[in-house]
Structure 1
Amino acid sequence: MKLALLNEILTKAPNENDHWDFKEEWYSNKGELLRDIMNLVNTVHHDDCYIIIGVDDSGKMVGVTNDSNVMNRQQLQDFLRSKPFAQNWYPQTDVESFQINGYRIDVITVYNSNNVPIYLSKNVKRDGGPLKAGLIYSRINDSNTPVDESTTDNQMELLWQKRFHLDISIKDRYKYALKHPKDWDYIDPLEKMDPTYVYSRDPNLVIKTKGPLTDKNRHFDSYMMSEYKIRIAWFLIQLYYGNTIIYDAYIFPVDDGSYEMIIPKQGFINIPDSTNSMFEYKSYRFYLKNDFPYLLTKFVNSFRQGGSWRVGWRNIQSDVVIYNDDEEIKYYETLFMEHYLNNKSEFNPNPDSLKFLISKIEKSGTHGEGGDIGLIAKSMEEEHLVVEYIKKLQSKTQQKPR
């Protein structure tokens, strides 16, 4: 949990909802701890939930001191793992401590899951009455389900919709499905038939590829720098829901079709110029892990046999920055800009590298598409130097920036 989020929640104490709960002290009644966690897992939103310990009923911070019932992350996970959950799956949690205004505040994070609703296969003892097998406890607003009842029919329906991803947009359903290629059927193309993928859990989700596209010139780009053959031939990949195209992009075979890539996004880093009011910019290529270009690149290659995809993926990682989220993009682009302002010469292409790249372009075959080969190589090398530096920054931090 981020400290800024905790401080924001504390300003709203003692008000509770289906995202957080306040406790004055750690649980002496471990059955009640289990009940609270089950209620927070069985929520219909897609956010993490929090049990914040060290806040009394009036919303005042009292802190955690000399509490014999404190549990660390491993102890809590072991506790949950020992319980008879019907799905042979237990909630994922974390435990963290924060110092705020001289008080120690402990936070149990209950991670969001789509494996809902969860329930017990056997009764579990609890002071005040057992948690009963088969009952589905769920948090609605600031209230937990009574210990001897299941949640409402409406809440139950919403939980099942969450489980099967029926409560999210079509694009988000696609993103989830692409992460599970084993749930897709690949239809081998016959003559004049496009390669097609059909999602077995919902046949409305269909992916088709078309090409090659004769109206697109072959050309060269920096995200092909590490490939043996770096000339791009264009195809089209289309994501359908029923008869409606909800997303399409260009896809191209790499190294004689041993694997395929979706074109990465192009980033632009604006560099302020202190001598005038103009900006220069540095461009580069990147993938965002929860966006279609990245997900589709991994998806289509998961159907390939042999080890060529693993070799290809190493090449892709050499030529493209891969981010977890938009926050990382902003973080690393800012670091790059700060470094570039004082070290511009580092990003001038090396003459030997340019000579090698020009030779590579010529061997891949060109008839002048895209302009002068020297200028093409220079542009590719400049983008690649940006990628290399940002990847070095990522390897140094080794964690998502906070």
Structure 2
Amino acid sequence: MLDIISKLIHENEDEYHDFKKEWYSPNKKDELIKDIFSFVNTAHHEDCYLIIGVDDNKRVVGIENDENRRNTQKLTDFLNNLPLANNAIPRVIVESLTIEGHTVDVIVIKDYKNVPIYLKEVYPSKNSKIHTKSHIYPGQIFCRLNDTNTAIDKTARDDLVEKLWKKRFGDDLTIEEKYKIKLSDIDNWQYSENGETRFLYKVDPNYCMYLKDDIDEDMRFKIESYSLSQMRIRVNWKILNLQYKDRLIKRFTVLFLDEYRFLTIYPQTFSLEQNFDKPLIYRFILADSIDFYVENFLLNQKNDFSPSADYFQKEKLLEGIVVFKNSEQKNRIDKKLKKNISAIREGVQPTDSQLESIQKKVTLAFHEKDEVSNNEIVAACRELNLGRYINDFIIYNTNEGNTINWFG
């Protein structure tokens, strides 16, 4: 947060941030509402910042002695007590930072989808003891355009409001972004095997995913690193087509694990070091990609007749797959890992007991001894160990934390 705000202080005000010299006094609660609503009612999909303790000339003056300061709880209580239409309550967080020897408060207005927000009753009401310079009326919509908020006695232009409604219903998004929203609505998908295997989005049947045979299955590996922790380690390959009407949006290679008991996507692959004999390869998913949303859907959908993972299967699967927040986090972690390649290589080598255990599972799963070679077993074990190593490294050796939300 400190890096973000320090950078913004040197930039001109825009649709993402605004400067305030001091906190809002009790008789300026209408201005506080207007300013927060204006940043909530933005057509973009980013958080916004009201930076308090910085004047219009971008000089840090601080709010150390400001008696009108509010913390997150007080500001949230204030918003909760407003007559908000549709009970739409924006999420705000107050952060205190030390910048240039002064205390600066930042109201973080989190990105909000259910816009526009507005009041359903006049504020303050006729019987209220609150005194403000102006009233805010029902249905009055405040927006932020460049560095300017809608005036307290005005309402936003129709073209700005139209953009807000498009944001609310996802009409401003690409088809992949729309698919992410539909996939997050897990309970409204229906699994069917009548004629063709598919997942149908009941709210809008134009969104449909079809499970197809993989024509390249015979050329693929029979085991994968992330299948080794399952009770049965053989994998079976399929193709999942995400379609909107008759249009193919994206094609995923997916796998049945644990004897067709659940589906998972084929994760991306990355090599920390190019070594032909013993490559340091791990599997990963980016949490801001559609891959993550498909994986989350497959692991958490609860149709009675569709294949889905139980807690044990899901936990074991995710041990060896690294889920990064985004590509930026992945690049940071890779850079740190590459500083200690020799120790990592030694630490992820399969032990004799691990290889013996996996060999027993292979013997049980395959009739032919040569279906899975010893080299494949060693490589899969090393890949699994590296995935586990990186997951532990992120949790215990960085300040990144494991904050991925599998929201199913």
Query: After the TM superposition, which residues 39-188 of structure 1 pair with which residues of structure 2 at under 5 Å, given as runs?
Result: 39-125=38-124, 127-184=132-189, 186-188=190-192
RMSD: 2.5
The equivalent residue for 1:237 is 240
Matched, 1:361 2:365: no
* Counterpart code for 1:244: R
The equivalent residue for 1:287 is 285
Indicate how the Cα distance of structure 1 residues 68 and 246 shifts in structure 2: closer, same or farther if over 3 A, else same.
Answer: same
Shift of 1:318: 1.9
Q: Tell me, in whole angstroms, the C-alpha distance in 2 between the residues paired with 1:157 and 1:369.
A: 63
Q: Tell me, in whole angstroms, the C-alpha distance in 2 between the residues paired with 1:292 and 1:324.
A: 12
* Counterpart code for 1:285: R
SS at match of 2:104: strand
SS at match of 1:51: strand
Q: Is the 8 A contact 1:358 1:373 kept in 2?
A: no
Shift of 1:213: 4.2
Q: Tell me, in whole angstroms, the C-alpha distance in 2 between the residues paired with 1:304 and 1:201.
A: 16
The superposition leaves residues 163-222 of structure 1 with CA deviations (integer Å, 9 ceiling, x where unpaired) of: 1111111111111211112233x15222xx222223344433221111264753451110
The equivalent residue for 1:257 is 260
Q: Is the 8 A contact 2:271 2:282 kept in 1?
A: yes
Shift of 1:227: 0.9
SS at match of 2:281: strand
Q: Tell me, in whole angstroms, the C-alpha distance in 2 between the residues paired with 1:305 and 1:4.
A: 48
Shift of 1:40: 0.5
Q: Is the 8 A contact 1:270 1:279 kept in 2?
A: no
Identical columns (%): 28
Taking structure 2 as the reference length, the TM-score comes to 0.88
Q: Is the 8 A contact 2:256 2:262 kept in 1?
A: yes
Query: After the TM superposition, which residues 167-316 of structure 1 pair with which residues of structure 2 at under 5 Å, given as runs?
Result: 167-184=172-189, 186-190=190-194, 193-211=195-213, 213=215, 215-217=217-219, 219-270=222-273, 281-301=279-299, 302-305=301-304, 308-316=309-317
Q: Tell me, in whole angstroms, the C-alpha distance in 2 between the residues paired with 1:368 and 1:354.
A: 15
Shift of 1:33: 1.0
The superposition leaves residues 56-107 of structure 1 with CA deviations (integer Å, 9 ceiling, x where unpaired) of: 1322221112100111111111111111211212110111122222122211
The equivalent residue for 1:36 is 35
* Counterpart code for 2:143: S
Indicate how the Cα distance of structure 1 residues 88 and 399 shifts in structure 2: closer, same or farther if over 3 A, else same.
Answer: farther
* Counterpart code for 1:16: E
Q: Tell me, in whole angstroms, the C-alpha distance in 1 between the residues paired with 2:288 and 2:368.
A: 37
* Counterpart code for 1:286: F
Q: Tell me, in whole angstroms, the C-alpha distance in 2 between the residues paired with 1:352 and 1:187.
A: 41
Q: Is the 8 A contact 1:222 1:383 kept in 2?
A: yes
> In the comparison of the two structures, how many residue pairs are matched?
390
The superposition leaves residues 248-282 of structure 1 with CA deviations (integer Å, 9 ceiling, x where unpaired) of: 111222222221111111122137x9xxxx99851
SS at match of 2:280: strand
Indicate how the Cα distance of structure 1 residues 168 and 187 shifts in structure 2: closer, same or farther if over 3 A, else same.
Answer: same
Q: Is the 8 A contact 2:234 2:259 kept in 1?
A: no
Indicate how the Cα distance of structure 1 residues 343 and 206 shifts in structure 2: closer, same or farther if over 3 A, else same.
Answer: closer
Q: Give 5+ residue unaligned stretches, structure 2.
A: 125-130, 402-408
Shift of 1:133: 1.4
Matched, 1:394 2:391: no
The superposition leaves residues 366-400 of structure 1 with CA deviations (integer Å, 9 ceiling, x where unpaired) of: 64677x62101110111111111112123326853
Q: Give 5+ residue unaligned stretches, structure 1.
A: none
Q: Is the 8 A contact 2:348 2:389 kept in 1?
A: no
